[in-house]
Amino acid sequence: MTDPLLPIPWLNTSDEITPLPDPESAMIEPNGLLAIGGSLSINRLEEAYREGIFPWYGPDEPILWWSPDPRAVIPVDQLHISRSLRRALNRADYQVSLDRAFETVVEACAEPRPDQPGTWITDDMKAAYGRLHRAGLAHSIEIWRDQRLIGGLYGVSLGRAFFGESMFSREPNASKMAMAWLCAQLRAWQFQFLDCQMPTSHLLSMGARCLPRRQFLMMLAASQRQATRRGPWTLDIEDWRHE
């Protein structure tokens, strides 16, 4: 748990008025920690994402708000598709959907993994993103085979920005397939980027770029001048796989 003596703001759980701090005031170590406390209400989460801030905390911690520097993003027209992913995408034995099984995707993302026995997707987080989904601001993309959910991801969308939260795979390449189809749909809707928050080797292999926070915030601000495409979303693109 973060040391409560650190010089960062604490927000009361009932405080829906005090704005989150300027992201540029975030701590260097731990990288991007900005504030503690507050709530996961729809208004607070929408405010946070529009300002480049997101919640991330463990089961025994208060809500922790972050805006790391640098920031990992994938331009939706620059997703790297490997040969193995291309082969998986070109198969004809799977189906893709948007917002068909949001809660199931979140539950799957929260399942323990061999290299990560715990999860930051707590019951409070599941409930909060469920509320965002019902408000039309959080979305999922699902990959199905034989009517079985084999992979997917979920995140938040505001303006022309999509903020990826988590993904899962039950078969090889399934989460990457979800990412590829999502980026294709976002391109068709004239989105510019998918926010990945923190870089990982998995995301970097798919084309994620690490931007200075200031550059990311400028790009984010431009995206928020566009209207939000509220859900539920449906897939409305032509087959793009041979472009």
pLDDT digits (tens, 9 = 90+) for 100-132: 999 999 999 999 766 655 468 999 999 999 999
The pTM for the full model equals 0.93
> Do 186 and 104 share a structural domain?
yes
Answer yes or no: do 49 and 162 share one domain: no
Same domain? 45 vs 109: no
CATH code, 64: 3.30.70.3550
Between CA 122 and CA 124 the distance in angstroms is: 5
Is 46 found in the same domain as 82?
no
Whether 136 and 191 share a structural domain = yes
pLDDT digits (tens, 9 = 90+) for 36-71: 999 999 999 999 999 999 999 998 899 999 999 999
Cα–Cα dist 221/215, whole Å: 10
The tally of CA atoms less than 13 A away on the side-chain side of residue 67 is: 22
* CATH number of the domain to which 153 belongs: 3.40.630.70
Domain membership flag for residue 239: no
Domain hosting residue 146, numbered range: 74-223
pLDDT 10s digits, 167-183: 999 999 999 999 999 99
Instruction: Quote the pLDDT of residue 4.
Output: 43
Instruction: Show Cβ contacts of residue 161 under 8 Å, excluding neighbours closer than 6 positions.
Output: 49, 191, 192, 193, 195, 220, 223, 224
Q: How many structural domains are present in the chain?
A: 2
